[in-house]
Amino acid sequence: MEAPRSDARSSVLRLALALPLACAVIIGALWLGQSLRTYREPAAPPAPSEEPGAQAGASPAPQPLPPMQSIDLPPDVARNAGAPVPNADGTYLVGQTADYKSLAVIRLIADRDALNLKSEVVAAVADTGFLAWMPDGKSFIARGNTVVNTASGKAQMKMNDVFRVDLAGQRTKLGEAWLVSSSLSPDARLLAAFDGDMRLVVIRTDGGGTQLVANDQGGAPSLLGWDASGAILRFDERTATIHRLPVAGAALKDLPVNGARYIGGMTRWSPDRRAAIVSATVTTSAGVCECDR
């Protein structure tokens, strides 16, 4: 009768010894699984404390800036004729050919991982000068050679053809103007310039023709640009006055400029086009043209 009791005690003893070992194995497996999960999943940033005066959570690390890229111009583009002018999205540029006889339409070959971007000349437009890109970046305004008087065969030295040129180099003639001073409207629908008699005109960039804005010569041809209302500003040296000339029907308004003998050349407009910094020859002091007065 002692043998069965002894076997029972042995079984209980073995079970008592096995239970701690099994618990240790289970706990170890759980710890190992949690460690692997923590290793694979990065820790979330600490949530900011809602308590007043508590220190805010750490700000995220700043993202690295993309590397600076340069453009390798084709060999048939002039290097010392000024930087080529990019269009709105930077996919095309207009520069000068190496012989300085044509405008070069340059296409940029996009490669986000390249430090030096390649480019190629897709069109050369002979005997033209660049004026301004159109907002869509698919064409630009350019001046041509002096206009030839078909009756006499002689060049009219003041007048130039005005073209709209597409990315393939195809020219569409918009009109003729004396481009000693010109300005593209903010919406790029009109180009303000002068005719051969120094009268202010606008040329429609959609090919709709030329419109006379001011019949008066107004002294030297000096355009300051377009204000926020869509009117053209022109300086009249005879009266030291800036004329605001609406294109569509509104009344002319004069803005007197004290002490200025001439205003023209470089003009920089504010983003809202209500004021402009101008270059001036003055007898007293220069200032800012408040164009919304």
Question: How far is 227 from 186, CA to CA, in rounded Å?
Answer: 9
pLDDT of residue 146: 80
The answer to whether position 226 is within a domain reads yes
Range of the structural domain that residue 273 is part of: 219-293
The answer to whether position 42 is within a domain reads no
Positive or negative CA dihedral for 125, 127, 130, 135? negative
Q: For residue 230, how far is the Cα from the chain centroid?
A: 21
Q: Which residue has the higher pLDDT, 70 or 273?
A: 70
The answer to whether position 285 is within a domain reads yes
Percent of the chain with pLDDT over 70: 60
Confidence of residue 116 (pLDDT cuts 50, 70, 90): confident
Domain count, the chain: 1
The answer to whether position 238 is within a domain reads yes
pTM of the model: 0.66
The answer to whether position 255 is within a domain reads yes
Confidence of residue 293 (pLDDT cuts 50, 70, 90): very low
The answer to whether position 182 is within a domain reads no
2-16, 65-79, 168-182: the lowest-pLDDT one: 2-16
The answer to whether position 83 is within a domain reads no
pLDDT of residue 57: 52
pLDDT digits (tens, 9 = 90+) for 133-169: 999 999 999 999 887 777 776 766 678 999 999 999 9
Q: Are 192 and 182 in contact, with CB atoms under 8 Å apart? A: yes
Q: What is the CATH number of the domain that holds 271?
A: 2.40.10
Question: How far is 31 from 10, CA to CA, in rounded Å?
Answer: 32
Of these ranges, 29-43, 163-177, 258-272, the one predicted with the greatest mean pLDDT is 163-177
Residue range 203-220: mean pLDDT, rounded: 81
pLDDT of residue 68: 75
The answer to whether position 12 is within a domain reads no
Question: How far is 150 from 135, CA to CA, in rounded Å?
Answer: 35
